[in-house]
Amino acid sequence: MLDRSVIRLVCFFSVGVTCLVLPTLTKAESPGDQHVKIELISEQDAIVPHRKVWVGIRFDLQDGWHTYWVNPGDSGEPPRIEWELPEGFEADAIQWPYPQRLSIPPFADFGYEHQVLLIAAVQTPPGLKEGVRERIAARVHYLVCRDVCIPGQKQLELTLPVKSRAVAGSDLQLFEATRCRLPQPAPERWKISAASIGDDFVLNLIIGRSAGAPQFFPLEEEQIENAAPQTATTIPGGFRLHLKKSGHLLKPLSRLRGVMVLGSGKAYRVDIPVSQSSSNVHTQ
């Protein structure tokens, strides 16, 4: 079955102009729909006034297709969510599970394959009337890619009754699994430091044990060469990670912020100053 983008290309290259002016697809026929199913789900079955309710945007991607993390890497674009909430409701920031590095030779992107749930807490006001159904909606702007990229927009909504008590809904496990993939603050006892040394950022992580294959994902673009291997060496009490600097870094980086994923699949938030000394790496 030919997908629409292939049909477009075939039209484009055929002799004559007739296919050039492409028909505008209606909202229902967003071409991305074939490759990703997007849904708005809630962790619990009701809204309790003045309590937050966790909702999530679930992306189910066809094999081979991916979408992007907040820093998408060398190409692509992260999804953007516009909330439409009832009076007095407020959505907190989206919580992003740690991504995978997606190899797009000779470059790399950061994103998700198969499935990802982007969760957010919605604060609710007091004084909501019991029994009333409240509507939570979101407009999701997204990009899904495989060998080609398809942008799309999806209007999503769900309604939940206001009750004095709420119980977990059928998607609880997915919410809990997602929480396991959220980066946690680094434990107090860890000593993490970074130095700018030549073409690299060198990170020392003294965490009390060695870790298998750690990976660092910067929160900001244009700081490291995304596709470069991140060589890790074991040092007493932890490991040292070499990150190749981005060729687009024109002035010294004073701070490195990102997500460190350990071999165990646990992710930690890193937010550290970068020492510009070319000799020793100073610990915090």
Told to check if 10 binds other proteins by CB under 8 A, we report: no
Contacts of 98 (CB under 8 A, 6+ apart): 181, 182, 183, 217, 259, 261, 267
Least Å distance between CB 18 and other proteins? 11
**Is 77 among the residues that bind other proteins (CB under 8 A)?**
yes
Which of 147, 165, 236, 265 is the binder for other proteins (CB under 8 A)? 147
Q: Which two tokens stand for residue 233?
A: 């060496």
Q: How far is the CB of 75 from other proteins (least distance, A)?
A: 4
Give me the least distance between CB of 68 and other proteins, in Å please: 11
In angstroms, the Cα distances linking 180 to 64, 96, 97, 261, 265 are 24, 11, 8, 12, 9
When asked if residue 177 is in the footprint of other proteins (CB under 8 A), the reply is no
Contact stretch for other proteins (CB under 8 A) within 184-192, 209-217, 244-252, 258-266:
244-252
Strand-pairing partners, residue 259, are: 217, 269
Site for other proteins in 178-237 (CB under 8 A): 199, 221-222
Nearest distance in Å: CB 230, other proteins: 14
Query: How far is the C-alpha of 35 from the C-alpha of 81, rounded, in Å?
Result: 19
DSSP state of 90: E
Reference 211, options 178, 248, 186, 179; nearest CA is 186
Decide: is 87 part of the binding site for other proteins (CB under 8 A). Answer: no
Binding range to other proteins, per CB under 8 A, among 73-81, 87-95, 112-120, 208-216? 73-81
* Nearest distance in Å: CB 105, other proteins: 6
Judged by CB under 8 A, the residue of 27, 165, 189, 248 near other proteins is 248
- R_g over Cα of the chain: 22
Choose, by CB under 8 A, the member of 25, 29, 107, 135 that binds other proteins: 107
In this chain, which of 4, 5, 169, 266 binds other proteins, going by CB under 8 A? 5
Asked if 216 and 98 count as a contact pair (C-beta separation under 8 A), the reply is no
Number of residues that bind other proteins (CB under 8 A): 31
Helix (H/G/I), strand (E/B), else coil: 5 = helix
Residue 38: CB minimum distance to other proteins, A:
17
Closest CA to 60 of 170, 142, 147, 169: 142
Judge contact between 251 and 245, C-beta under 8 A. Answer: no
Residues near other proteins (CB under 8 A) are: 5, 8-9, 12-13, 15, 17, 20, 74-77, 104-107, 109, 141, 143, 145, 147-151, 199, 221-222, 247-248, 250
